[in-house]
Structures are given as C-alpha cells and as structure tokens.
A = this chain, B = another copy of it.
Amino acid sequence: MVPIVSFVGKSGSGKTTLLEKVVAELTGRGYKVGTIKHDVHGFEIDCEGKDSWRHKRAGAATVVLSGPGKIAVIKDVDEEWDPARLGFSFIDGVDIIITEGYKKAGHPKIEVIRKAKSTKPICRKDKNLIAITSDIKFKCRDIPCIDINDAKGIANLIEKRFLQKQVHGEIADLIINGKQITLKPFIQGMLVETIKGMLKPLKGCSNPRDIEIRMKT
C-alpha cells in the first residue's frame, strides 16, 4: 500500500502553498507523487457547454475524458470515499500520496498553523500527528516543529518516514465492499502466489507484473 500523509489545518493557513512546495521538492528528488484534495464544500471542475459537461448533464454517472497523455474522470458517489479508497481506486504508480485536508482520517498528518489565522494546534492530541509546521515556534517534546517556509525540511521528514523503507517485491492491495483491508506480508504473499498460479496457464497471462481483479459475488 502506498503511504498517505495529510496536510491539515484551518482554512487559510497555507496548506495548498505548502503542499505545492513539498510536491515540487519530492518530485525534484525523483519521487512520483499523487495528491488528494478534500473539498468539504464541493467543487466545480467542468465548464458549461463542454462535451464532458454535456455527458454529465445528460445523466451519466461517471464521465471519463481521455486525451494524449492525460485522463480526467468526473464521478458521482453516494457517500464520501476515504483517502485509502480514493488512492487505491484512482492513483497508481506513485511513491506517496499527499492529501490536503482529512484531519479526521487515520493517516499520519502534518498540521499547518499560520499565526495570522490561529495560534493553537487542532490535532495536538491526535496520535497520528507527526509534525507541526508553522510561523510560530512551538515547543513539542514528541514531534518536530518545522518552519512553515521550510519545504525542504518537510520533504526531508516525509522522505525519511515514508520513502526510505519501502518494501520491494510482491505486494497486494485489497478492497472489500469499498473498505481497504490491511494484509500481513504472509497473507499478501499467499494471495499473490495462488492467483498467479491460477492465471499463468491462461492466454495473455504468462508474464504478469501488474494484476488487477474486480469481482462481484
């Protein structure tokens, strides 16, 4: 499973600006990054009159646009998907996923505090808080407080915590009824070997590197 880290903080604290700098820094170091923006108030992405807008307005539940080098998807959902499900379903081939928002989700998080907006951490008691980044000098015994303009320092922390101990080799991600299931390495290995063994005799399956299966039972 790709590691997920969340930038959380009050509106206007500078999460997007910081995320931009950290994504650019990590990309510059050769990592592939996916991002998820939690837009609690809703968003508009499609423009009136465009073909994709017309498809959607006609009643399509999901609209996909596919062009040279780029894909876009606009999809209706009944309930909100958590970052793990969004990452599993839509983001592949990346080393890390950084989310903007999702302070209530159970992923490691970095809180952004800008003194013009607030002076109190909102996630101080959250066991998933791994750092504070701020223009205030907080003294925390257990987690680092990094300057809000020090994107390199934040990238260093992310690299050290999430990007240098990735296990290479066989991995299996599993979603059941829309919920991500954490598998122990032994179970992952058993699943991978059993499925590979079943598929190998089939046409077109002799050299599987990436296998995706979706089942309805």
B62 touches A94 (CB 8 A): yes
B174 touches A211 (CB 8 A): yes
B70 touches A81 (CB 8 A): no
Tell me if A142 is interfacial: C-beta within 8 Å of chain B: no
- Per-residue CB contact flags for chain A residues 180-200 toward chain B (1 = under 8 Å, else 0) read 010100010011101110110
Copies of chain A in the complex: 2
A35 touches B23 (CB 8 A): no
Q: How far is the CB of A194 from chain B (nearest CB, A)?
A: 6
Residues facing B in A66-83 (CB within 8 A) are 66-78, 80-81
Q: Which residues of B contact A217 (CB under 8 A)?
A: 170, 192, 196, 208-211
- Contact of A90 (CB < 8 Å), options: B62, B191, B215: B62
Q: Which residues of B contact A209 (CB under 8 A)?
A: 177, 216-217
- Contact of A40 (CB < 8 Å), options: B26, B33, B67, B77: B67
User: Main secondary structure on chain A at its contact with chain B?
Assistant: mixed
How many residues of chain A get a CB closer than 8 Å to chain B's CBs? Answer: 100
Tell me if A122 is interfacial: C-beta within 8 Å of chain B: no
- Contact of A73 (CB < 8 Å), options: B27, B71, B173, B203: B71
| CB closest chain-B residue, reference A82 | B66
Q: Given contacts A43-B65, A64-B90, list 13 more A-B pairs with CB under 8 A.
A: A20-B54, A36-B64, A42-B69, A45-B45, A61-B94, A62-B91, A66-B86, A72-B72, A89-B212, A174-B199, A176-B205, A191-B195, A191-B215
Residues of chain A touching chain B, judged by Cβ–Cβ distance below 8 Å, are 16, 19-21, 23-24, 26-28, 32-43, 45-47, 50-52, 54-55, 57-78, 80-81, 86-94, 98, 100, 170-179, 181, 183, 187, 190-192, 194-196, 198-199, 202-205, 207-217
